[in-house]
């Protein structure tokens, strides 16, 4: 019996390593060692799981152990605090110091706890208990913090690559849900996505009530829905949804909650889509996601990325922006808003908000800024929740999702409206006739039916109409970030438009995104255009230079598939991700490359070297200030970063080389024709 249990445990640990640590958390497989004796350090006792900075080749024991970042004891099929769990605690307390680690992990391959090796207290991350394996960044951070203070049990961080529940951890839970969903006949993926987001929102509502101090112990909540009997969980959830719809402000999300209620309880005519056992399983998985407060990422976007088909992603592409772009551009646009000042409150609008990716990230950026500066007062929270954020989108279903997405990230969902920003109705005019300090948006591209509000050119191109609308929405001195296709910046017929922008605004930065930035949604070459409004009328062209920068790698493969490659250097910095923040091997939080270089980087004297995702060294200019005289002296007043930073140099060949090339083509054509005949 013991041998069978040991065999099952080994299988569970193997699956944990392959399916979670490697597949979900992107930890290199060769940096993970399982059930191996390191007699010099732990004698005959074998640590179950070790994770190091270096790959283990069977001979480099000292190098591997000296650079450990995590150690875990695994006990399959045990319960927290039972005999086996306590045995793992005892082993961890003994082995961790011998391995040079100030903390250790205990897991039953489903639930995972982190412990201080000295005090045996559970570790928390940003005030919340750690209940899942984490990314390698967090292991480094924990090791560093506890090495500095061995008695510490609360880890706090503001680094971009870490959040209360990291997106990687959340994706692991979505992966577990996907396993349950295989046996459920959803009508389509949209229903699957709305069901998932709605189910998550039910849990989050209770968290928010607790945070706001509004929880009523006499009422039904998410936590009171739990039961050993699956049928009771289903009935409790149905009653919980009905209560939220009848008694709370959460009823404004009724359409999403109804997707959940009908799926688990039926609609009177049709049987429930999801059986009670599956409901119980889904409830358990989402319950284990807690806490969701302060996740700091586009929750709807994460669910969408997991469950949408390629076709749906292409259809959805006109209003979906990947989270790592929405975050960094929100952070750069709002970098001066580091302190809450009641006398200088401001407003932000996205006139093509889609599901609210830019708005949710802006909320998190400001919340984080105010926390860091110590100005996150009750007035600041009220400002963020009810006064600061505005969103407009032409699709009703998008606004419903934006409201819920904002609610899930912390709030700020009050001023979200369904309307056409280019041709608003009476209600929309109240929002779109106001002036804003900030505008951030990724508007749709292509031919439209509404003429752009500009005297420079006559066009119905939607991207140009939105740029004109953004300038109109800004107050004097207001700033905007607009994602725009390359034609706006280089098309010769748009020369007068570019001059008008340079006259009305200060174009202070243009960032080139990789060709596949939004693949598979679209392969349109795109740019982030940063402007500051100077005038409502035509005035003298700006005299300040334009800072331009080219992002070559954003952490995802430059292809349609866009999988994360996560290549790092030996200090843990990203080698091909210029967007994400990171944690060094010393556990020090570091800003991303773009943020660090923002508005100051200039490699005009010496070209930059970087390593692409294939590990090949590339050399070219990355960024710098382009004098306005250089732009205006160009025949078309081009604003394309590549035009100035990486001008195209044609390769000329002589007549002999040309003849050789023609002969090769002729030989190949003759070969193909002979095969056909």
pLDDT at 651: 65
pLDDT at 248: 80
Q: How far apart are CA 252 and CA 255, in angstroms?
A: 8
**Which segments of the chain have a pLDDT < 70?**
1-7, 158-168, 293-298, 309-320, 520-521, 562-564, 566-575, 584-588, 649-652, 677
Query: Edge to edge, what strands does the sheet with 389-393 contain?
Result: 415-418, 389-393, 348-350, 436-441, 474-485, 526-533, 505-512, 546-550, 623-626
What CA–CA distances, in Å, run from 482 to 325, 437, 490, 493, 538?
A: 12, 14, 16, 20, 21
pLDDT at 640: 96
Q: Is 650 exposed, middle or buried (0-12, 13-18, 19+ CB in 10 A)?
A: exposed
Q: Are 395 and 418 in contact (CB under 8 A)?
A: yes
How large is the angle between the packed helices 189-212 and 396-409, nearest 10 degrees?
Answer: 40
pLDDT at 317: 45
* First CA to last CA distance, the chain: 70
Task: Evaluate the CA torsion angle 613, 614, 617, 622 in order and state its sign.
Answer: negative
Q: How far apart are CA 378 and CA 382, in angstroms?
A: 6
What are the contacts of 175-181 at 24+ separation with CB within 8 A?
A: 175/19, 175/24, 175/306, 176/285, 177/282, 177/285, 177/286, 178/306, 178/307, 180/278, 180/281, 180/282, 180/285, 181/307
Model pTM above 0.75: yes
One CATH from 3.40.50.150, 3.40.50.300, 1.10.260.30, 3.40.50.1820 for 319-550: 3.40.50.150
What string of DSSP letters covers 33-90?
A: EES---HHHHTTPPPSEEEESS---SS-HHHHHHTEEEEEEE-TT--TTSHHHHHHHH
Residues in the chain: 677
pLDDT at 1: 43
pLDDT at 336: 95
Q: Are 313 and 519 in contact (CB under 8 A)?
A: no
Q: How far apart are CA 438 and CA 316, in angstroms?
A: 25
- pLDDT digit string, tens, across residues 270-322: 889 999 999 999 999 888 877 776 555 567 777 877 787 655 555 544 445 77
Q: Are 282 and 199 in contact (CB under 8 A)?
A: yes
What string of DSSP letters covers 141-184?
A: HHHHHHHH-TT--EE----TT--SS-HHHHHHHHHHHHHHHTTS
Domain covering 2-157, topology? tt1808, chain A (3.90.1570)
């Amino acid at each position: 019996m013991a041998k069978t249990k040991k065999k099952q445990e080994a299988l569970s640990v193997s699956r944990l390593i392959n399916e979670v640590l490697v597949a979900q958390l992107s930890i290199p497989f060769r940096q993970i060692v399982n059930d191996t004796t390191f007699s010099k350090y732990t004698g005959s006792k074998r640590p179950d799981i070790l994770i190091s900075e270096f790959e283990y080749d069977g001979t480099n024991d000292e190098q591997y152990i000296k650079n450990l970042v995590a150690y875990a004891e695994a006990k399959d099929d045990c319960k927290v605090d039972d005999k086996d769990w306590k045995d793992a605690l005892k082993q961890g307390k003994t082995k961790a110091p011998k391995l040079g680690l100030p903390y250790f992990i205990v897991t039953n391959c489903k639930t995972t706890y982190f412990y201080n090796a000295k005090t045996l207290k559970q570790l928390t991350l940003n005030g919340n208990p750690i209940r899942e394996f984490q990314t390698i960044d967090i292991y480094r951070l924990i090791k560093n913090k506890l090495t500095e203070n061995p008695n510490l049990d609360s880890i706090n961080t503001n680094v971009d690559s870490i959040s209360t529940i990291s997106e990687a951890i959340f994706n692991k839970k979505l992966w577990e849900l996907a396993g349950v969903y295989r046996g459920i006949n959803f009508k389509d993926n949209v229903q699957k996505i709305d069901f998932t987001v709605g189910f998550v929102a039910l849990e989050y509502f209770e968290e928010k009530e607790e945070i706001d101090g509004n929880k009523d112990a006499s009422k039904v909540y998410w936590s009171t829905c739990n039961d050993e009997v699956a049928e009771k969980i289903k009935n409790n959830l149905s009653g919980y949804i009905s209560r939220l719809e009848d008694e709370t402000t959460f009823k404004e999300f009724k359409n999403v909650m109804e997707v959940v209620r009908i799926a688990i309880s039926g609609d009177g005519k049709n049987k429930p889509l999801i059986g009670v056992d599956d409901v119980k399983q889904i409830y358990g998985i989402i319950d284990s996601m807690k806490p969701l407060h302060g996740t700091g990422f586009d929750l709807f976007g994460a669910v969408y990325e997991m469950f949408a088909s390629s076709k749906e992603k292409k259809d959805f592409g006109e209003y979906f922006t990947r989270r790592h772009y929405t975050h960094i551009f929100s952070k750069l646009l709002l970098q001066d808003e580091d302190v809450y000042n009641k006398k200088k409150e401001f407003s932000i609008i996205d006139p093509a908000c889609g599901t609210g990716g830019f708005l949710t990230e802006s909320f998190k950026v400001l919340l984080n800024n105010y926390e860091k500066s110590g100005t996150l007062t009750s007035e600041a929270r009220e400002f963020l929740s009810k006064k600061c954020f505005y969103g407009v989108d032409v699709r009703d279903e998008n606004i419903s999702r934006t409201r819920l997405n904002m609610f899930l990230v912390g709030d700020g969902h009050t001023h979200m409206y369904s309307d056409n920003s280019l041709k608003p109705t009476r209600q929309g005019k109240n929002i779109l006739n106001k002036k804003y300090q900030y505008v951030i948006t990724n508007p749709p591209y292509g031919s439209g039916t509404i003429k752009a509000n500009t005297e420079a050119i006559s066009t119905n191109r939607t991207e140009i109409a939105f740029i004109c609308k953004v300038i109109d929405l800004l107050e004097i001195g207001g700033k905007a970030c607009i994602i725009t296709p390359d034609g706006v910046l280089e098309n010769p017929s748009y020369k007068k438009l570019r001059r008008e922008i340079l006259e009305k605004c200060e174009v202070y930065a243009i960032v080139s995104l990789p060709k596949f930035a939004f693949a598979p949604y679209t392969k349109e070459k795109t740019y982030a255009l940063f402007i500051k409004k100077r005038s409502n009328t035509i005035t003298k062209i700006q005299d300040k230079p334009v800072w331009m920068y080219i992002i070559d790698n954003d952490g995802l493969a430059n292809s349609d598939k866009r999988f994360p490659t996560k290549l790092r250097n030996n200090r843990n910095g990203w080698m091909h991700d210029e967007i994400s923040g990171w944690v060094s091997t010393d556990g020090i939080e570091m800003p991303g490359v773009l943020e660090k270089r923002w508005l100051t980087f200039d490699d005009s004297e010496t070209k930059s070297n970087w390593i692409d995702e294939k590990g090949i060294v590339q050399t070219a200019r990355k960024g710098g200030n382009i004098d306005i005289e250089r732009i205006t002296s160009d025949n078309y007043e081009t604003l394309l970063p590549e035009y100035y930073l990486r001008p195209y140099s044609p390769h000329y060949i002589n007549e002999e080389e040309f003849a050789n090339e023609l002969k090769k083509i002729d030989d190949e054509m003759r070969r193909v024709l002979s095969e056909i005949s």
